[in-house]
Amino acid sequence: MQLLTIECFEGPREAIAWCRELAAQGLSLGFVPTMGALHEGHQNLVRQAALENDRVCVSIFVNPLQFGESLDLESYPRDFTGDAKLLNEAGCHMAFTGTLPEFFPGRLDERGGLLPEYLLDPGPCAEGLEGEYRVGHFEGVATIVGRFFEILKPKRAYFGQKDYQQALVVRDLARNMDGPEVVICTTHREPSGMAFSSRNTRLSESEYAAGMFISRALFGARALWNQGQRDPAVLARHMQAVLKQGDLFVEYAAVRDPEEWNGSEPVGELQHAVALIAARAGDVRLIDNMLLSSTTPAGA
Ligand code: AMP
């Protein structure tokens, strides 16, 4: 049995003090924001952060600001004890959680919501796809991530390519606030090809089987790209055809130019491309994406 050496804090106060102490000692901090229900994908982010920094800190916070549907927020899986074990194993030094009032003291209205003037603008990369289907989601992401950057002052922050558009949004946010270096880590997949996701635990066997068509469609698009297909409309149609074979409700299956993020489908042949899918298997919403060209994720 592995000894638990990780420090766990239930609120931001101790976490902030811990980070200040590190800074005073001249030690570098790598930060990995998460919503908990951790898996190997999160562990990979922590491992990379541990390689590149003196210390690693992880936040575990199911951020209500980024959930439009309250059912989705309530049913989001939570397992703090299991999370601490996985983080410890991956080399994380400190994990903390907290509540909205603790993270935003004096910035909430009487009903506990964040006052609108404290919501951060997620910028142009929030346009289209996730931004369209989850209205307000990226404002919520930018606001909490920006707040964490502000209070913890990490040297580097680690995000998964799995949430591609989010990675673009936080990269811009960090640049604008003179924040940490944003490191984007490749998507970690199950042997089946399915991307690891906290939401996978909520899938029944048949929903999992349906969800598999998402990665199949993405790998299919990449195969077409490798054969020389550069038309985004053709690539998107191919993905839609594959997705039709599964019992899924498809929100989007789209191709974008990662160098020039745009809310709408690019026209003409692409030099750089990323394929992105969002679909529901039962009531579980799944997203995944794949870089078709060999550009580094989000140009990081
Ligand atoms: P979440 O807890 O889902 O908000 O995810 C926290 C971080 O882990 C985000 O930066 C995600 O993009 C990243 N992440 C989630 N799943 C994966 C995965 N399968 N591979 C790599 N990173 C991931």
pLDDT digits 0-9 by tens, 119-176: 999 999 999 999 999 999 999 999 999 999 999 999 999 999 999 999 999 999 999 9
pLDDT of residue 2: 65
Instruction: Please indicate, yes or no, whether residues 209 and 139 belong to a single structural domain of this protein.
Output: no
pLDDT in tens, 4-16: 799 999 999 999 9
43 Cβ below 6 A of ligand 1: no
Number of H helices, E strands in the chain: 10, 9
Is position 188 annotated as part of the catalytic site? Answer: no
Given pLDDT bands bounded at 50, 70 and 90, which one contains residue 108? very high
Q: Counting every residue, how long is the chain?
A: 300
Among the three residues 120, 151, 185, which one is the final residue of a domain in this structure?
A: 185
Are 28 and 152 members of one domain? Answer: yes
Query: Could you tell me if 236 and 146 lie in one domain?
Result: no
What separation in angstroms does the CA of 191 have from each of 80, 187, 287, 290, 297?
Answer: 26, 13, 17, 16, 22
Count: domains in the chain: 2
Evaluate whether residue 298 is within a structural domain: no
Confidence band for 299, pLDDT divided at 50, 70 and 90 = very low
Do 15 and 110 fall within a single domain?
yes
Q: Could you tell me the CATH number of the domain that includes residue 250?
A: 3.30.1300.10
DSSP letters, 59-99, are EE---GGG-S-HHHHHTS---HHHHHHHHHHHT--EEE---
Does the residue 281 lie in any domain?
yes
Phi/psi of residue 225, nearest 5 degrees: -60, -45
Query: Given pLDDT bands bounded at 50, 70 and 90, which one contains residue 46?
Result: very high
Q: Which atom of ligand 1 is nearest to the CA of 161?
A: 12
Query: Could you tell me if the CB of 38 is within 6 A of ligand 1?
Result: no
**13 shares its domain with 140:** yes
Residue with tokens 């409700």: 249
Residue 296 in this model has a pLDDT that exceeds 80: no
Of 161, 185, 209, which residue constitutes the final position of a domain? 185
Q: What is the mean pLDDT of the chain?
A: 94
In a shared domain, residues 180 and 259: no
> Quick one: which atom of ligand 1 is closest to the CA of 33?
6
* pLDDT on residue 128: 96
Is residue 214 included in any domain, yes or no?
Answer: yes
Is the pTM higher than 0.85? The answer reads: yes
- Pocket mutation for ligand 1, best pick of 32, 34, 60 (most atoms within 8 Å of C-beta): 34
| Residue 263 forms part of a structural domain | yes
pLDDT, tens digit (0-9, with 9 covering 90-100), for 215-251: 999 999 999 999 999 999 999 999 999 999 999 999 9
Q: What is the largest CA-CA distance in the chain?
A: 58
For the CA of 163, the closest atom of ligand 1 is 12
45 domain residue, yes or no: yes
Residues 162, 217: one domain? no
Is the CB of 129 inside a 6 Å radius of any atom of ligand 1? no
Cα 16 from Cα 21, distance rounded (Å)? 9
Distance CA 219, CA 238 (A): 11
Residues 220 and 110 occupy one common structural domain: no
2 in a structural domain: no
| Closest C-alpha to ligand 1, atom 22 | 160
Domain holding 146, by residue range, is 7-185
Q: Are residues 30 and 168 in the same domain?
A: yes
Q: What are residue 154's phi and psi, to 5 degrees?
A: -70, 160
Give the residue from 164, 185, 206 where a domain finishes: 185
How, if at all, do strands 7-9 and 55-60 pair? unpaired
